[in-house]
């Protein structure tokens, strides 16, 4: 990792100590659930990244494979062909850090070589055996997300999450990934029933007690209660992210950047003012 990339990584990690950090979603895929195909072209993707930065996002998360339910897996070659030209442009044009949304070690390594400083792994180092050592070698920050191959309404999802994170963190430690570079994501909407999504959401505060920053990715998810067009889920997404912020989340992965920057800025300003008032009164 060169000095510029290291500075961007460390600036991102410092930002987590004084949230919020807004992560703008950039899907360069033809089949993502809410914006598939809109930014599959290089120029459209680059323009969208610039628009999100102008709207105030702190990091751009680039994904080349849809993770929606029933999505068709793509090869590393196809995923690389989607993300490489976009990352090459963004690394030289954006001042904010770039994250790569992938569970493949080969893609993570290539993205890091192109300038990505965060690996956002929706399988938490548990899908590709080479991922932990790849992240360690690249010296990127790491998002570990909870996931399941299929829903099981009978399980205790909170207990499952805790066991899962234990395994992922053990893999990270074995590979030599420093704890201060790790972020946890409860994986809302991934391998969970509606009830389990609620339980996972309610577990954010206890998950934060592990000592890691928390990322939430609830943008436009169906569990918010709407199957309509994306605009119908904006109010629900903002409400859910504000609730996550109240529970201790630091990073908010969203499609609608400007609206979340404004809402979260107000929320944290009011929360800080209330906390100072309590300290003054005590």
**Range with the poorest average pLDDT among 28-32, 36-40, 64-68:** 36-40
Could you read off the pLDDT of 223-260 as tens digits, one per residue? 776 444 544 678 889 999 999 999 999 999 999 999 99
* pLDDT tier, 280 (very low <50, low <70, confident <90, very high otherwise): confident
d(CA 206, CA 157): 14
Burial class (CB in 10 A: 0-12, 13-18, 19+), 106: middle
Neighbours of 81 (CB within 10 A): 13
The percentage of residues in the chain with a pLDDT greater than 70, rounded to a whole number, is 92
Indicate the DSSP class of residue 228.
S
3-state secondary structure 93-159: HCCCCEEEECCCHHHHHHHHHHCCCEEEECCCCCCCCCHHHHHHHHCCEEEEECCCCCCCCCCCHHH
pLDDT, the chain, mean:
91
Q: What is the DSSP string of 33-57?
A: TTTTTTT-SHHHHHHHHHHHHHTT-
Q: Where do the domains of the chain lie?
A: 3-281
For the segment(s) 3-281, the CATH number from 3.40.630.30, 3.30.1130.10, 3.20.20.20, 3.30.565.10 is: 3.20.20.20
Asked if the peptide bond before residue 20 counts as cis, ω within 30 degrees of 0, the response is yes
Q: Which residue pairs from 46-55 have beta carbons closer than 8 angstroms and sit at least 24 positions apart in sequence?
A: 46/86, 46/89, 46/90, 46/93, 49/24, 49/86, 49/90, 49/93, 49/94, 50/93, 50/94, 52/24, 52/26, 52/257, 53/24, 53/94, 53/95, 53/96, 55/24, 55/257, 55/258, 55/261
Could you read off the pLDDT of 175-226 as tens digits, one per residue? 999 999 999 999 999 999 999 999 999 999 999 999 999 999 999 887 776 4
The residue ranking higher by pLDDT, 232 or 16, is 16
Using an 8 Å Cβ cutoff, are 263 and 239 in contact? no
d(CA 92, CA 15): 22
Active site residues: 221, 253
Look at residue 169 in the predicted model and tell me its pLDDT: 98
Look at residue 36 in the predicted model and tell me its pLDDT: 52
H or E stretch covering 79: helix 76-93
Q: Is 96's pLDDT higher than 50? A: yes
φ, ψ at 260 (rounded to 5°):
-75, -35
d(CA 171, CA 150): 22
Using an 8 Å Cβ cutoff, are 54 and 64 in contact? no
């Amino acid at each position: 990792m060169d000095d510029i990339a290291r500075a961007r990584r460390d600036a991102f990690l410092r930002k987590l100590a004084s949230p919020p950090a807004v992560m703008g979603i950039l899907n360069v895929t033809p089949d993502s659930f809410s914006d598939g195909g809109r930014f599959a072209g290089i120029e459209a993707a680059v323009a969208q990244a610039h628009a999100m930065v102008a709207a105030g996002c702190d990091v751009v998360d680039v994904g080349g494979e849809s993770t929606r339910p029933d999505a068709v897996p793509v090869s590393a070659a196809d995923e690389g062909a989607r993300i490489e030209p976009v990352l090459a442009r963004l690394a030289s044009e954006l001042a904010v850090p770039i994250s790569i949304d992938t569970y493949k070690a080969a893609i993570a390594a290539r993205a890091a070589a192109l300038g990505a400083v965060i690996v956002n792994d929706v399988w938490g180092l548990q899908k590709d055996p080479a991922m932990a050592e790849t992240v360690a070698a690249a010296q990127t920050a790491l998002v570990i997300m909870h996931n399941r191959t299929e829903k099981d309404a009978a399980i205790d999802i909170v207990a499952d999450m805790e066991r899962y994170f234990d395994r992922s963190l053990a893999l990270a430690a074995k590979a030599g990934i420093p704890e201060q570079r790790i972020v946890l994501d409860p994986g809302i909407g991934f391998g969970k029933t509606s009830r389990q999504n609620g339980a996972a959401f309610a577990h954010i505060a206890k998950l934060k007690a592990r000592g890691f920053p928390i990322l939430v990715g609830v943008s436009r998810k169906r569990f918010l209660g709407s199957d309509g067009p994306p605009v119908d889920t904006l109010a629900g997404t903002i409400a859910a992210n504000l609730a996550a912020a109240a529970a201790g989340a630091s990073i908010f992965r969203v499609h609608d950047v400007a609206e979340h920057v404004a809402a979260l800025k107000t929320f944290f300003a009011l929360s800080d003012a209330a906390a100072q008032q309590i300290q003054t009164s005590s």
